Chains A and B, each alone.
Chain A
Amino acid sequence: MTRVVVIGAGIAGLVAAIRLARAGVAVTVLHKGTGGLQLSQGTVDILGYTPERVERPLDALAGFVQANPGHPYAHHDTQAVGDSVAYLKELVGPELLVGTPSANLQLPTAVGAIRPTALAAPSMIAGGCVDGARFVIVGLRRLKDFYPELVAQNLSRTDLPGGGRLTARHVTIDVPAREGEVDSFALTYARAIDDRAYRRRFAEAVKAVVVEGETVGLPAVLGLDDPRAWIEIGELIGTEVFEIPLPPPSVPGMRLNRALTGLAKAAGARMVPGSMVTGFRSSGDSVRSVQLATAGGARDFLADAFVLATGGFEAGALSADSYHNLHESIFDLPLRTPKGALVHGDYWGDPQPLFTVGVETDDAMLVRRPDGDPVYSNLYAAGGILAGATRWQEKSGEGIALASAVRAADSILATATTATTQGAAS
């Protein structure tokens, strides 16, 4: 049986693990802590800005790659990106993700900007920013991460991507999630809304402030465990409602992270959380094992192939010292580094070149030396560690993660099949 170790449990690590485990591979996922997916908006970006706002991400990909030849998307054709996004959508189902990789939704953010994204939770869809929409943005007095006035006023003054304007007003209500608590997190509200009695009280308080014809925008706290809580709230209010994602703790991000982690475990992947991978052993041109820093000493995890899905600087997978010496934290892999200054002094200016630093791969997602050969014959990379993207500006993070995770998994499976066939023949 093929054994694979995936390092990292963000969207790339989890999706690679699920795809491999479902194909019969013995997968172990080593992760230091909770992956970045739960910090996300619970949406799936493919391409939002080129830098022009993108309406149809798959159609825009070819031109975008031509203009950015070193981009992680350069290893994937449009079909592969679309299929990878569809794979995730199929995995988690329509209770968590709807939409299509071929067209971007234009959804309101917690500051009232309009953000392009390809897939979103079904609970967000009624927030589509189209000409003539009438929103009432309802805030919660004790929730400090959501300012309905800011959202409503910014939305109202924005020329919409598809032309025209929408109208939005704001209301603040007070339905304490827990008595005696004056400063509650989104998660506290989400847990309260999982309780049907509270859910009813909450919906009644919202209903009291809604005017007929308005669509209700609420902070994304409409249930954590119950994926149908938002539907019932809409029914109780008697109008369409939508969730606006908040800064962490992001409830929609938590829902996705829980679903994918559950699917990985159900597929048989062994999750090993809580410790860092600090070293590795190699023999010849292949990695034989990675070492996990557990209590009492390092433990070796042997495998036939390894997927490096550890993220970027923000995750500690890459580091820079004060001399701008750059390192990948586990294998000290060669990094692709842009020419010139890595950090410029203009805080509000162009993206910092530093954040395009990462590892380079071939089309199979094998880590290679910049413009050279693979570093090891069995070390693949996926997600935020890949060089050449400015994810938060392009709105490309999830799409890159999915395309590279699916490709890495499929490359490992193809190699395993070849090896088995050769074994059978000999």
Chain B
Amino acid sequence: MNSPKGLEFAQSQVARASLDHCVKCTICETHCPVSAVTPKFTGPKFVGPQAERFRHGESVDSSLEYCS
């Protein structure tokens, strides 16, 4: 498991565990200062646990860049 591939697998498992455990409580949405002021950012729930399911290739949504 110390091969780069093993580490990559472990990392993706950790990432999936956290995002797939989202229970859609939407507390993130109610605290997000960016989605509160613009419809151009679809909000942390869509961009996070929802959009994460587009797992092949590029992200389908680059609106996260509004936050940085």
Which residue from A179, A185, A248, A254 sits with its C-beta under 8 Å from B25?
A: A248
Contacts of A141 in B (CB 8 A): none
Which residue from B23, B24, B27, B43 sits with its C-beta under 8 Å from A34?
A: B27
Q: For the complex, would chain B's binding face be called helix, strand, loop or mixed by DSSP majority?
A: loop
Beyond A39-B25, A248-B24, whether A254 also contacts B39 by CB under 8 A is: no
Contacts of B29 in A (CB 8 A): 185, 187, 249
Distance, CA A91 to CA B27, complexed state (A): 24
Distance, CA A179 to CA B23, complexed state (A): 29
Closest to B32 in A: A187
Distance, CA A314 to CA B25, complexed state (A): 11
Which residue from A34, A39, A179 sits with its C-beta under 8 Å from B31?
A: A34
Distance, CA A33 to CA B40, complexed state (A): 26
Distance, CA A39 to CA B29, complexed state (A): 12
Whether, in the assembled complex, A157 has its beta carbon less than 8 Å from a beta carbon of chain B, the answer is no
Whether, in the assembled complex, A181 has its beta carbon less than 8 Å from a beta carbon of chain B, the answer is yes
Q: For the complex, would chain A's binding face be called helix, strand, loop or mixed by DSSP majority?
A: loop
Which residue from B23, B26, B42 sits with its C-beta under 8 Å from A249?
A: B26
Whether, in the assembled complex, A372 has its beta carbon less than 8 Å from a beta carbon of chain B, the answer is no
Contacts of A38 in B (CB 8 A): 27, 30
Closest to A145 in B: B26
Whether, in the assembled complex, A281 has its beta carbon less than 8 Å from a beta carbon of chain B, the answer is no
Contacts of A314 in B (CB 8 A): 23
Whether, in the assembled complex, A178 has its beta carbon less than 8 Å from a beta carbon of chain B, the answer is yes
Contacts of B30 in A (CB 8 A): 34, 38, 187, 249, 254
Whether, in the assembled complex, B36 has its beta carbon less than 8 Å from a beta carbon of chain A, the answer is yes
Closest-CB distance, A73 to chain B (whole angstroms): 27
Determine whether the beta carbon of B26 is less than 8 Å from that of A248. yes
Closest to A35 in B: B27
Contact flags (1/0) for A238-265 with B, using CB distance below 8 Å? 0000000000110000100000000000
Distance, CA A184 to CA B46, complexed state (A): 11
Distance, CA A249 to CA B43, complexed state (A): 13
Whether, in the assembled complex, A76 has its beta carbon less than 8 Å from a beta carbon of chain B, the answer is no
Determine whether the beta carbon of A191 is less than 8 Å from that of B36. yes
User: In the complex, which residues 29-86 of chain A have their Cβ closer than 8 Å to any Cβ of chain B?
Assistant: 33-34, 38-39
Closest to A181 in B: B39
Contacts of B43 in A (CB 8 A): 185
User: In the complex, which residues 176-206 of chain A have their Cβ closer than 8 Å to any Cβ of chain B?
Assistant: 178-181, 183-185, 187-188, 191
User: In the complex, which residues 5-61 of chain B have their Cβ closer than 8 Å to any Cβ of chain A?
Assistant: 23-27, 29-31, 36, 39-40, 42-43
Distance, CA A173 to CA B25, complexed state (A): 27
Distance, CA A179 to CA B31, complexed state (A): 21
Closest to B38 in A: A178
Instruction: Please list 15 pairs of residues, one from A and one from B, whose beta carbons are closer than 8 Å in the complex, sorted by A's number.
Output: A34-B27, A38-B27, A39-B25, A178-B39, A184-B39, A185-B26, A185-B29, A185-B43, A188-B39, A191-B36, A248-B24, A248-B25, A249-B30, A254-B30, A314-B23
Name A residues whose Cβ lies closer than 8 Å to a Cβ of B: 33-34, 38-39, 178-181, 183-185, 187-188, 191, 248-249, 254, 314
